[in-house]
Chains A and B, each alone.
Chain A
Amino acid sequence: MNVTREQVAAFADDQLTGEEARVVAAAVAADAALQAEVAAHRALRARLTAHFAPVAEAPVPERLQRAASGGRDEVIDFAAARAAHTPARQLAWRRYALPALAASLLVAFVGFNAWLRRGYAHGELAGALDHQVAMTAPANSPVHILLSFRDGAGQYCRAFSADTGSGIACRDERGWRLRDLSGASVGQQTEYRQAGSSDAAIMEKSQAIAAGPALDAVSEAAAIKRGWRR
């Protein structure tokens, strides 16, 4: 059984699937030299990860934070930029927004009720919070997860966005408790909010609640796999 060094590396990094994964795993199991190669690969990876870990944990210099806020103190809102360039979302907004623009407040019917049970996420929202990787949902998805993080108590929280508004949900033993919902009180039929400000507000609130940086792709995938248990 001949396996390439590339395959052995990919095996050590858990990048193989299906038949190839089985073949390489069998080859490694039967060959001490390949086992040593896998071990050396993983040891180097662990050493590099440890070496760079302090950088990601260090406070971000103020000039970079300022640059990321576009020179202002508020969050630059990529989700809003995306919404402005997504026709489907624009249409949905227009339907609600036009009659209310004169009053400079928009009255949005909240479709959230179908997604809530006693303050906990339900249905599509709960499914997205459980399984969706941040920033990967297709444009027509009813819920977009914006980012994941941990709060001061160590609970996992996720900020999300939907046509009807955005919010933050945190995971406790019962499920995803809605912690914030576009500034509206949870469960109301109608909410008032500034047009277009919802995702930006939620991102700002996430930063306020979060203890540390947002989860990266690897930690998020691991948390999804563990069912968001701490």
Chain B
Amino acid sequence: MLALLPRLRRFALGLLHDPADADDLCQMTIERALRARAQWQPGTRLDSWMYRIMRNLWIDEARARNRRAENLVGEEDALGVGIDGGQEARLGLADIDRALSRLPGEQREAVLLVMVEGWSYKEAAEIVGCPVGTLNSRLVRGRDALMEILEETA
């Protein structure tokens, strides 16, 4: 599992942009995985199982955060953990981080799993728990939005 940590940190940072939050998510993922390790199915990959745990924890956190903020907007935004422009400037995020943070969560995770983490569409769809076609279209929408934002800021 130690060998997976660099990749899990990378995925967490893509999801959350703040390094401290990302490492917290990593730690939660590790702890959850250790507690649930008997549930890991023999013959399946440990890495995709842990990605799935991280992704689900991230969704839970995002929902809880939105509830706390009483910021009930559309379903799309419920997965979005948006941060406003002021916060972005304060955090001094690089262009790519800023652009990613503006994507709805379901598009952000699709882009990260395929384009950064190198999962196949099928594997990424299994991690997310959606059909391959859905993953494919979220990837395209996320990619288009990302390119548009990056062009604006270029």
Contacts and interface: CB of A to CB of B under 8 A. Distances in A.
Interface stretch (A44-52, A94-102, A106-114, A118-126): A44-52
B147 A40 contact: yes
B37 A217 contact: no
Nearest to A137: B43
Contact of A65 (B5, B43, B118): B5
Interface of B is mostly: helix
B27 A63 contact: yes
Contacts of A47: 96
B9 A55 contact: yes
Given A61-B23, A65-B2, A136-B43, A6 B10 contact: no
Contacts of A10: 121, 136
Interface string A44-87: 11011101100111101101110111100001101001101110
A210 B4 CA distance: 13
Contacts of B7: 56, 213, 216
Interface in B1-43: 1-7, 9-10, 13-14, 23, 26-27, 30-31, 34, 37-38, 40, 42-43
Interface residues of B, number: 47
B9 A76 contact: no
A147 B3 contact: yes
Contacts of B91: none
A3 interface: no
A9 B2 contact: no
Per DSSP, are chain A's interface residues mostly helix, strand or loop, or mixed? helix
A51 B3 CA distance: 21
B138 to A, nearest CB: 10
Contacts of B120: 15
B9 A44 contact: no
A48 B42 CA distance: 33
Given A44-B115, A49-B116, A76-B34, A210 B3 contact: yes
Given A61-B23, A135-B45, A213-B6, A49 B30 contact: no
Which of B116, B137, B147 gathers most chain A CB within 10 Å?
B116
**What bracket does the count of chain A residues touching chain B fall in?**
35 or more
Interface string A8-45: 01100101000000000000000000000000110011
A6 B30 contact: no
B140 A48 contact: no
Given A6-B136, A134-B45, A68 B1 contact: yes
A77 to B, nearest CB: 9
A67 B6 contact: no
Given A6-B140, A81-B38, 19 more contacts: A6-B139, A13-B121, A15-B121, A41-B143, A48-B111, A55-B6, A58-B6, A75-B2, A76-B37, A78-B1, A135-B47, A136-B44, A136-B45, A137-B43, A139-B43, A206-B3, A213-B7, A217-B45, A218-B118
Nearest 8 A-B pairs (CB), nearest first? A214-B3, A218-B118, A56-B6, A135-B45, A55-B10, A45-B115, A139-B42, A67-B30
6 contacts: A6-B139, A9-B136, A44-B115, A56-B6, A76-B34, A213-B4
